[in-house]
C-alpha cells in the first residue's frame, strides 16, 4: 500500500467529508483528491516521471498538502523547501537531490542511467511554488497560486518501497543530509501504528513542512479519514494555538517538546478540549508532564521518540503522573528496536538501533554515511538497522533516553550538528576560528553559543551566517575571544568555553533606560524570560540570546500584562524594547 492510495480510499468512501481546513476555507476529500489529480497531471506534463524528486516550495497551507499529494500521485517524491530557509541552503538541497550520485549511492527508481533525475529542466527538479516565491529558485516551476483544476484519477503505479519524500537534517560534515523516506515507512507510521488513535481525528498541523513531524500531522489525518486543521504560515503563539483548538474542535495535536513546555508554563488552558497530545523532539520534562495531566485529566499525553531516518516516530510512551524521568517507551507496530554495545551485542545500556518498515532507504548521494548508519541486522538476514546515536537503558516501563554518544543536540525539536554551524562560521572571511556549544538543560531553554576568534566586525558575521543557515541553527549568543581554549591534547576545551565570561557581544550594551510605562513593562518581561540582569530600550532581542520560543513567552506575557495581542513575527520585526513598544502603541 502507498500513501496516496490510503487517502484516495477515504475520498472514494467519504467524498463529502471535510479533509483540510486552512485560512478560513475547507476542502472535502473529494475536492482534495480531484485537485491533487489535476496538479499531478500538470506535473507529468511538465516532465515529472516515476521516481523523480519534486521540490515543494510553499508555506504551511492547504496548497502544500495538495502539492505533496499530487507529487505522490504522479509517482514522484516531494522535497519540502521551507521559504524561511536562506537561498544558499535551498540551492544546496535542490542540487543534492538532482546531483548524479557516486557509484553505489542511492538512486531513486525512475532515474536515467547517469543517476540524475528526469524532468522538464535537466538542471534540477521541477519545483511547485507560488508566483511570489518563484523568483527565489532557478529550477523549472509549476505555479499553484490557486488550487489546481480538478481532474480524474492519475494512474501511476507506485510500489510501497518507492520514495515518498526526501527531508534534510543537519549534517556533522558541515552540510545538510537528505533522508530518503519510503511509502512503506509512512504507511507504518499512520496506518494503525498502535499507541496512538488516529481514526477520524481532527488533527492540528502547525509543524514546518520541512520538519518530519509534518508527516505525522498530514498523513496521520488524511490516511484515516480525519480533518487536518492547518495553522497560519510561520510560527504560532500560544494564543493562536488555543484559538485553533477551540474554533476547530481539534482532538489530536503534536507539539515539539519545547513548545509543549512553553504552553504548559504560559497557558495550558489553550489545550482544553484535546483528547490526545503527542510530544516529541527532545527530552520531556516530567514536571511539565505532571502539570499538564493535572490541569487536563481527560487528555492523553504521549511521549514520542524517533529520528527522521526511521520515519518520524520509533517509540511511544503513555505518560503517567507517577513517571520520574519520562521513558521513550516501546516500538510502534511494524517496528523493532535493539539496545547494543560497541560490539553490536545485546546490552541493558547501549546505543539504540531501530529496524522495521520505518527505516529509510538512506542518505541521498552519500553511500559512505548510509553504510555507516544503516547497518545489517545480525539477527534478521537481509534486514537493516539504523544506528540512532542515542544512548538508552532498558527498563520495565520501556526505554529510557540517557543522551547522545556524539555532539548532536536538539533545539526546538530540530536536530543540530554543532559541526555544521562551526563550518558555516569558519567559512566566513572575518572568522579565524570558531566553536559552538549548546547550553540550557531543557528543550525550551536550550541555546547555541558561538565563540569566535575574529579578524573583522562581529555584526557582519552574524548577518552573513543568517544567509547560509536556517534560523533555528543560527547561534543565539555570540562571544568574541582572542583565542579558543584547548585541552592538553589540543582539542577545543568546550567546558572552558561554557565558563568563559560574556562581553558586549552578548548584548550587554549601554542602551538607555526605558522611557515610557509600556517600554518599562516590556523591558521587565524581557529581563525575566531572557534571564538577564537588565534590559535597555535599544538592546537587541537576538543579541541577548532570544529565539522563537522565548519570543512566544514574551508575546504571551505581553498579552497578560498589557492586554495586547501581537503576532510572534512582531518580536522579530521589532527586536528592541523601544521598537516593540512603538509597534504596540500603533
Query: Does the residue 560 lie in any domain?
Result: yes
Residues 530 and 480 in one domain: no
**Measuring CA to CA, which residue among 232, 234, 209, 204 is closest to residue 220?**
204
Query: Does the residue 72 lie in any domain?
Result: yes
Residues 496 and 528 in one domain: no
Question: Residue 51's domain is classified under what CATH number?
Answer: 3.40.50.980
Residue 333: left (phi > 0), alpha (psi -120 to 50), or beta? beta
Domain C-terminal end among 457, 472, 506: 506
pTM for this prediction: 0.85
Question: Which residues fall within 8 angstroms of residue 120, CB to CB, at 6 or more apart?
Answer: 46, 47, 48, 126, 140
**Measuring CA to CA, which residue among 582, 547, 545 is closest to residue 568?**
547
Query: Does the residue 457 lie in any domain?
Result: yes
Query: Does the residue 265 lie in any domain?
Result: no
Report pLDDT for 123: 57
As given in the structure block, the three cell numbers for residue 53 are 524528486
Residues 567 and 487 in one domain: no
Domain C-terminal end among 449, 475, 506: 506
Query: Does the residue 423 lie in any domain?
Result: yes
Strands 227-230 and 18-22: parallel
Strand positions, DSSP E, 117-201:
126-129, 141-143, 163-169, 177-182
> What are 337-342's contacts with CB under 8 Å, separation 24+?
337/399, 338/377, 338/379, 338/385, 339/392, 339/393, 339/394, 339/399
**Measuring CA to CA, which residue among 465, 546, 549 is closest to residue 89?**
465
Question: Exposure of 160 by Cβ count < 10 A (0-12 exposed, 13-18 middle, 19+ buried)?
Answer: middle
**Measuring CA to CA, which residue among 213, 169, 201 is closest to residue 10?**
201
Residues 40 and 112 in one domain: yes
DSSP 470: -
Other CB atoms closer than 10 Å to residue 20's CB: what's the count? 24
**pLDDT tens digits for the chain (586 residues)?**
899 999 999 999 999 999 999 988 999 999 999 999 999 999 999 999 999 999 999 999 999 999 999 999 999 999 999 999 999 899 999 999 985 544 455 544 443 333 333 344 445 799 999 999 999 987 788 999 888 888 889 989 999 999 999 999 988 777 889 999 999 999 999 999 987 899 999 999 999 999 999 999 999 999 999 999 999 998 889 999 999 999 999 999 999 998 999 999 988 999 999 999 999 999 999 999 999 999 999 999 999 999 999 999 999 999 998 888 899 999 999 999 999 999 999 999 999 999 999 999 999 999 999 999 999 999 999 999 999 999 999 998 889 999 988 888 888 778 888 888 988 898 999 999 899 998 887 777 788 999 999 999 998 998 899 999 988 899 988 988 888 888 777 778 888 887 766 543 343 444 677 778 898 999 999 999 888 888 888 888 888 888 888 889 999 999 888 888 888 888 988 989 999 999 988 8
Question: Residue 567's domain is classified under what CATH number?
Answer: 1.10.1200.10
**Measuring CA to CA, which residue among 64, 59, 67, 60 is closest to residue 83?**
59
As given in the structure block, the three cell numbers for residue 532 are 538577564
Query: Does the residue 205 lie in any domain?
Result: no
- Number of domains into which the chain is organized: 3
Residues 41 and 63 in one domain: yes
Angle at 198 between CA 194 and CA 203, to 5 degrees: 140
Separation CA 17–CA 9 (nearest Å) = 12
Residues 34 and 130 in one domain: yes
Separation CA 231–CA 248 (nearest Å) = 11
If DSSP codes are grouped into helix, strand and coil, which group holds residue 7?
helix
Query: Within 13 Å, how many C-alpha atoms sit on residue 122's CB side?
Result: 2
DSSP 228: E
Query: Does the residue 55 lie in any domain?
Result: yes
Residues 497 and 521 in one domain: no
Residue 119's domain comprises: 28-144
Per residue, the 3-state secondary structure of 390-458, as one string, reads: EEEEEECCEEEEEEECCCCEEECCEEECHHHHHHHHHCCCCEEEEEEEEECCCCCCCEEEEEEEECCCH
> What sign does the CA torsion over 557, 562, 568, 572 have?
negative
- The residues pairing with 433 across neighbouring beta strands, listed in sequence order, are 453
Question: Does residue 551 contact residue 572 with C-beta atoms inside 8 Å?
Answer: yes
Domain C-terminal end among 84, 116, 144: 144
Residues 138 and 33 in one domain: yes
Separation CA 142–CA 163 (nearest Å) = 21
Residues 446 and 490 in one domain: yes
Report pLDDT for 504: 39
Residues 71 and 106 in one domain: yes
Question: Residue 476's domain is classified under what CATH number?
Answer: 3.30.300.30
Residue 547 vs residues 69, 221, 482, 543: alpha-carbon distances, Å = 33, 30, 27, 10
As given in the structure block, the three cell numbers for residue 472 are 533555528
If DSSP codes are grouped into helix, strand and coil, which group holds residue 118?
coil
Query: Does the residue 98 lie in any domain?
Result: yes
**Measuring CA to CA, which residue among 518, 421, 437 is closest to residue 485?**
437
Amino acid at each position: 500500500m502507498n500513501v496516496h492510495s490510503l487517502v484516495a480510499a477515504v475520498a472514494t468512501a467519504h467524498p463529502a467529508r471535510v479533509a483540510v481546513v486552512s485560512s478560513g476555507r475547507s476542502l472535502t476529500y473529494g475536492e482534495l483528491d480531484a485537485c491533487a489529480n489535476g496538479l499531478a497531471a500538470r506535473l507529468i506534463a511538465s516532465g515529472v516521471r516515476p521516481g523523480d524528486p519534486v521540490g515543494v516550495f510553499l508555506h504551511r497551507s492547504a496548497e502544500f498538502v495538495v502539492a505533496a499529494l499530487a507529487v505522490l500521485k504522479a509517482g514522484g517524491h516531494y522535497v519540502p523547501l521551507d521559504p524561511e530557509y536562506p537561498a544558499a541552503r535551498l540551492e544546496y538541497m535542490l542540487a543534492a537531490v538532482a546531483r548524479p550520485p557516486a557509484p553505489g549511492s542511492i538512486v531513486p527508481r525512475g532515474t536515467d542511467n547517469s543517476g540524475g533525475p528526469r524532468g522538464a529542466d535537466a538542471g534540477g527538479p521541477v519545483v511547485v511554488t507560488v508566483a511570489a516565491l518563484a523568483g527565489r529558485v532557478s529550477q523549472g516551476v509549476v505555479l499553484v497560486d490557486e488550487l489546481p483544476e480538478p481532474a480524474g484519477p492519475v494512474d501511476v503505479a507506485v510500489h510501497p518501497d518507492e520514495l515518498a519524500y526526501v527531508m534534510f537534517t543537519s549534517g556533522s560534515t558541515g552540510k545538510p543530509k537528505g533522508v530518503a523516506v519510503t511509502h512503506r515507512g509512512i504507511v507504518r507510521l499512520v496506518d494503525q501504528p498502535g499507541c496512538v488513535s488516529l481514526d477520524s481525528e481532527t488533527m492540528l498541523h502547525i509543524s514546518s513542512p520541512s520538519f518530519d513531524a509534518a508527516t505525522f500531522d498530514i498523513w496521520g489525518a488524511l490516511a484515516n479519514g480525519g480533518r487536518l486543521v492547518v495553522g497560519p504560515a510561520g510560527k504560532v503563539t500560544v494564543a493562536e494555538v488555543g484559538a485553533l483548538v477551540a474554533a476547530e474542535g481539534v482532538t489530536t495535536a503534536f507539539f515539539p517538546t519545547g513548545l509543549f513546555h512553553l504552553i504548559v508554563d504560559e497557558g495550558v488552558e489553550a489545550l482544553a478540549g484535546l483528547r490526545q497530545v503527542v510530544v516529541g523532539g527532545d527530552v520531556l520534562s516530567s514536571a511539565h508532564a505532571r502539570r499538564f495531566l493535572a490541569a487536563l485529566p481527560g487528555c492523553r499525553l504521549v511521549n514520542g521518540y524517533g529520528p527522521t531516518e526511521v520515519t518520524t516516530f520509533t517509540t511511544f510512551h503513555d505518560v503517567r503522573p507517577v513517571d520520574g524521568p519520562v521513558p521513550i517507551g516501546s516500538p510502534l507496530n511494524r517496528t523493532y528496536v535493539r539496545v547494543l554495545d560497541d560490539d553490536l551485542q545485546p546490552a541493558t545500556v547501549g546505543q539504540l538501533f531501530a529496524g522495521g518498515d520505518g527505516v529509510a532507504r538512506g542518505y541521498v548521494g552519500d553511500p559512505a554515511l548510509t553504510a555507516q548508519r544503516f547497518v545489517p541486522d545480525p539477527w534478521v538476514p537481509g534486514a537493516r538497522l539504523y544506528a540512532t546515536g542515542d544512548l538508552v537503558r532498558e527498563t520495565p516501563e520501556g526505554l529510557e533516553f540517557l543522551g547522545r554518544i556524539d555532539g548532536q543536540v536538539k533545539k526546538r525539536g530540530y536536530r543540530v550538528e554543532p559541526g555544521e554551524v562551526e563550518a558555516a562560521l569558519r567559512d566566513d572571511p572575518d572568522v579565524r576560528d570558531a566553536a559552538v556549544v549548546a547550553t540550557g538543560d531543557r528543550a525550551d531553554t536550550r541555546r547555541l553559543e558561538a565563540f569566535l576568534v575574529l579578524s573583522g566586525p562581529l555584526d557582519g558575521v552574524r548577518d552573513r551566517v543568517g544567509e547560509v543557515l536556517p534560523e533555528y541553527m543560527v547561534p543565539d549568543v555570540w562571544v568574541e575571544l582572542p583565542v579558543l581554549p584547548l585541552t592538553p591534547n589540543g582539542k577545543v576545551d568546550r567546558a572552558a568555553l561554557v565558563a568563559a565570561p560574556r562581553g558586549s557581544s552578548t548584548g550587554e550594551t549601554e542602551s538607555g533606560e526605558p522611557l515610557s510605562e509600556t517600554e518599562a513593562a516590556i523591558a521587565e518581561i524581557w529581563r525575566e524570560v531572557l534571564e538577564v540582569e537588565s534590559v535597555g530600550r535599544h538592546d537587541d532581542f537576538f543579541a541577548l540570546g532570544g529565539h522563537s520560543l522565548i519570543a512566544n513567552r514574551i508575546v504571551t506575557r505581553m498579552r497578560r500584562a498589557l492586554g495586547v495581542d501581537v503576532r510572534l513575527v512582531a518580536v522579530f520585526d521589532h527586536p528592541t524594547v523601544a521598537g516593540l513598544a512603538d509597534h504596540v502603541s500603533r
